[in-house]
Every structure is written in structure tokens, then in C-alpha cells.
Amino acid sequence: MKAAVLYKKHDLRIENLPMPVPAGNQVLIKTAFCGVCGTDVHLFNGDEGSVKMTPMTIPGHELSGINMLTNEKVVVDPNYYCGKCEECLAGRPHYCRNMKNTGVNSNGGFADYLVAEQSQIHVLPTGITLEEACFLEPISCCLHGLNKIMIDKNDHVLIIGGGTIGLLMLQLSIFLGASRTAVVELVNSKRDLALVLGADEVYEDVSEIRNHKFNKVIECIGLKKTCEDAISICANTGHVLLFGLTEPEETISIRPFDLFKRDLTVTSSYINPYTIEEAIKVMSTGKIRTAPLIGQILPLENLEEVLKDSKLRQDGKVLIKLN
């Protein structure tokens, strides 16, 4: 089978490998599509994502495919939890002592086939296509974050960053009932898309926001300035969700006195415990549009180029088509 192996930083090779053989409770999956995520770019550049990359691993964690045992269309939750360790039993499966991460420390979706544990595999309802299914993992991560800031009908939500994650956060906030939504985004075309997807307002920069008060602010870029903006723009008693992945060593300035005076809650969220089934349910309603978020669909041979050249990623999420 054809696979893209990340040997080390900046060394990705397309190779012909033997078919993986499932062991124990594993199942063989024939990959259909695998999304290229910002995390893959971080890993390609030698940076840490949610966990450290194991050298010589096949990346790719936003994937859909066919379960070769049952012939069903499936999505693979890239995070495997054992369900038995202390952390799993305490309701913190994302800190599982025996966790395996598909596409980071076990072989992922940038290959014609992969093996996954049975518990990672979720059958797609008929309404969800294999292309759309690549968005289930990012949506599940967004839902975990949104669950922490509890969006409801009284909320005015501001999303900083109109990339794939920002535009998913926008649609999910609307789905969860937010009464008003706005997106801050530098790129014109993405601001337009945010409006098409239901944003009430768009801004080029946070400094343009004058009289409006947003009590839920979601940062989806991961830069020092945008994290600080998210905190400074949030209304009194509001919640800030720092969701964008920053460089591991990045720091931001916070004045605790300022948080105190404004009664703010600043939070973050790590991966997707328990939310992949929730993501499937939300997507099944047809209320989350993913087709406009797809930039290009490309063969595996183009993966390296996509990881290297941010221009190829600027028109939306790139999906790699396998098989």
C-alpha cells in the first residue's frame, strides 16, 4: 500500500509498505479521505502537537474510510483510551495512561490502509459522506471546548480567527443557540464566508469592535496577540476559550487584577473526550456545513507540498484522497 511516512522533521517520504495486519481488537480500515490539520503542519516542522510525534510514523488523524470487516463507512477517533486505567475510570480518558494517538504515535490516515482499535471506530449514519466525516474529529474537539463555556441563547459569541476551526466554532455556536455571533478575520474571503455561514458581524481586527459586548470569546488562532485580544475584548462576567494551538513556549500577559475586576473565566480545552458521538449527532442534523470549508482535494503525492506551502492551505481545509 501507498503511505506517507514522517521520518523526522521535514522528511516525509511516500513509500510502498506492506498492508498493516490487525491484532487483538484492531480492525483494518481502508482510508477514503484524510484532512490536513494545523497539527500535521506543526508535526512536519518538528513541533509538538497534542502529543510528541514518534519518528517514522504515518501522520493523519482526521480520517474516514471503510471498515474492512463489516464494509461500513466509518470515522476513526484518533485517540484510543484503554477504559481501565485510573484516569479513564475517573472520567479523564484524554489522560489515559495507555493512550495511543493515531497519526502521531501510531500509524494514521495518510496511507491506503491503517489499523485502529475497535473502540476508535464509529459507523457513519447514511446522511454523512466520507468527505464530511473528516471534519468529525475537529468538530469533536470544538465541542469539548464549547461544553466548557456552555453556549446558550443569551450569549453573544465572538470568534477570533476564521479558518476551518473558527468557522466550525461559528456554526456550532449558532447550533447551540447563541443569540449573536461575530468573527474576527484578516482575510476578506474568509470574512465573506463567515457571513454566508451565519455570522451576524465580521471584523478585520478586534480594534474595530466598538460598542458591542461579547460574553463568550473563542480564540482560534493561537498567537500571543490574539490570545491577549480575546481576554481584553471579553465582557464582564464572560468566558474566554483559548482554543488555537500556540507555540509550546509562547507566553501571554494577563493581569490577574483585571480578571478579578471583570469577573472573567479563562479556559482552554484538550482534545475530544466523549465528544465524537456528539459530533456525529450534530453533523447528522445537517446544520453544520463543511463543503464550503474544503479548499482542495489532492492525492497523497501532494501532501508534502501542502505541509510546506501555506498558500496551498489558505483556501480551506485540504483533504487527501486515498485509494
Nearest by Cα to 26 from 133, 119, 122 = 119
Number of residues that bind Zn ion (CB under 5 A): 6
C-alpha grid cell, residue 221:
488562532
Cα 19 to Cα 58, 268, 302, distances in angstroms = 13, 39, 22
Site residues for Zn ion, window 165-184 (CB under 5 A)? Answer: none
Encoded one letter per residue, x for contact with Zn ion by CB under 5 A and - for no contact, window 232-251 reads --------------------
Q: How far apart are CA 114 and CA 137, in angstroms?
A: 17
Helix (H, G, I), strand (E, B) or coil at 33: strand
Closer CB to Zn ion, residue 96 or residue 169?
Answer: 96
Q: Which of 1, 28, 68, 85 binds Zn ion (CB under 5 A)?
A: 85
Label the pairing between strands 79-80 and 100-101: antiparallel
C-alpha grid cell, residue 28:
483494518
Radius of gyration of the chain (CA): 19
CA 231 from chain centre, in angstroms, equals 22
Buried b (16+ CB within 10 A) or exposed e, 275-284: bbebbbebbe
Query: Least distance to Zn ion from the beta carbon of 84, Å?
Result: 6
With cell 498567537, the residue in question is 223
Closer CB to Zn ion, residue 77 or residue 155?
Answer: 77
**Considering only 82-90, 169-177, 220-228, 245-253, which stretch makes contact with Zn ion by CB under 5 A?**
82-90
Closer CB to Zn ion, residue 9 or residue 84?
Answer: 84
DSSP per-residue letters across 13-47: EEEE-PPP---TTEEEEEEEEEE--HHHHHHHTT-
Query: Least distance to Zn ion from the beta carbon of 85, Å?
Result: 3
What's the DSSP call for residue 106?
A: B
**Considering only 9-17, 87-95, 106-114, 175-183, which stretch makes contact with Zn ion by CB under 5 A?**
87-95
Query: Least distance to Zn ion from the beta carbon of 225, Å?
Result: 23
Site residues for Zn ion, window 89-128 (CB under 5 A)? Answer: 96
Query: Least distance to Zn ion from the beta carbon of 244, Å?
Result: 12
Q: Which amino acid is at 239?
A: H
| 37 binds Zn ion, rule: CB under 5 A | yes
Closer CB to Zn ion, residue 83 or residue 127?
Answer: 83
Q: How far apart are CA 297 and CA 216, in angstroms?
A: 34
| 39 binds Zn ion, rule: CB under 5 A | yes
Query: Least distance to Zn ion from the beta carbon of 116, Å?
Result: 16
Closer CB to Zn ion, residue 234 or residue 320?
Answer: 320
Is residue 313 within 8 A of residue 186, CB to CB? The reply is no
Q: Which residues contact 128 (CB under 8 A, 6 or more apart)?
A: 73, 136, 280, 283, 284
**Considering only 42-50, 88-96, 108-116, 200-208, which stretch makes contact with Zn ion by CB under 5 A?**
88-96
| 159 binds Zn ion, rule: CB under 5 A | no
Please count the CA atoms within 13 angstroms of the CA of 81 that sit on its side-chain side: 20
Q: Which of 41, 82, 254, 259 binds Zn ion (CB under 5 A)?
A: 82
Query: Least distance to Zn ion from the beta carbon of 245, Å?
Result: 9
C-alpha grid cell, residue 84:
481501565
| 320 binds Zn ion, rule: CB under 5 A | no
| 88 binds Zn ion, rule: CB under 5 A | yes
Closer CB to Zn ion, residue 234 or residue 307?
Answer: 307
Contact residues: Zn ion, CB under 5 A = 37, 39, 82, 85, 88, 96
